Amino acid sequence: MRDIRRLVPAHFPCREPIIAEFLAILDDARERTRVVLRDLPPAALHWQLRPELSSIGDLLYHIGLIEADWLYAEVLETEYPAPIRELLPEEVSDAQGRLTHVKEEPIDVHLRRLATIRTALIEVFLEMDLAEFRRLRSLPGYDVSPEWVLHHLAQHEAEHRYQMKMIRKQAEQRSQDPASTG
Ligand code: NI
C-alpha cells in the first residue's frame, strides 16, 4: 500500500478552515513523535546519558507542560484549570535552570498526559474565529498571536523529538554494550 502523506484538516471541525490546517499540522507532528517512541524499551524512557541531562520521560513531560503553558498563559490569558494543573505538578526547570527531572512513570501515563492537553487545546481552537486567532496577546516580554503559538508548538515538539531520538539511540547502544563509553 502506498504511503500517503497529507494533512487531514477534516478531522478538526473548526469555524475557520485555516485553524483546522494548523491543528492537522500539530496532529502530524504528534504522530511523528509517536513513531520515535514506538516499542521504546521501558529502561530507555528513564535513561540519562549523564545525571544532569534529560531523559525521554523528562522531555515528554516538558512537551506537555510547554503546550499547556502556551495555551493557558498566552492564548487564553488565564490560569491552568484544576485538572490540567494536577497533570503538571512539576515546574518547567529546576533550581539550576535545567529541565525538571520528573518521577519515573510508564510511557502510557506520558502519552495520556499529552493527549489530555492536546484535547483541551483543540477544544479552544475549534471555536476560535480568525480575528481572535490573529489577535496579539501582550505578555511581559513579547506580543504573541495564537496562530504563532500553534506554529511554535509544532516546531518545539520537532526539536525535542530529534533529541528523544538521539537519547533512545544512545540508550539502546548502552544496553547492548554496557562497557561502552561512546
Ligand atoms: Ni523545550
pLDDT in tens, 56-80: 999 999 999 999 999 999 999 999 9
Q: Provide the grid cell at 34.
A: 509517536
Reduce the DSSP state of residue 24 to 3 states and report it: helix
Q: How far is the CA of 62 from the centre of ligand 1 (A)?
A: 7
| Grid cell at residue 27 | 496532529
pLDDT, mean of residues 9-36 = 97
Q: Which amino acid is at 120?
A: A
Query: What distance in angstroms lies between residue 137's CA and the mean position of ligand 1's atoms?
Result: 21
- pLDDT, one tens digit per residue, over 128-138 is 999 999 999 99
**45, 133 Cβ separation under 8 angstroms:** no
pLDDT at 180: 58
Distance 129 CA to ligand 1 centre (A): 28
Question: How far away, in angstroms, is 98 Cα from ligand 1 center?
Answer: 11
Question: pLDDT tens across 78-127, in order?
Answer: 999 999 999 999 887 877 778 888 888 999 999 999 999 999 999 999 99
In the reported structure, the alpha carbon of residue 34 is separated from the centroid of ligand 1 by a whole-number distance in angstroms of 17
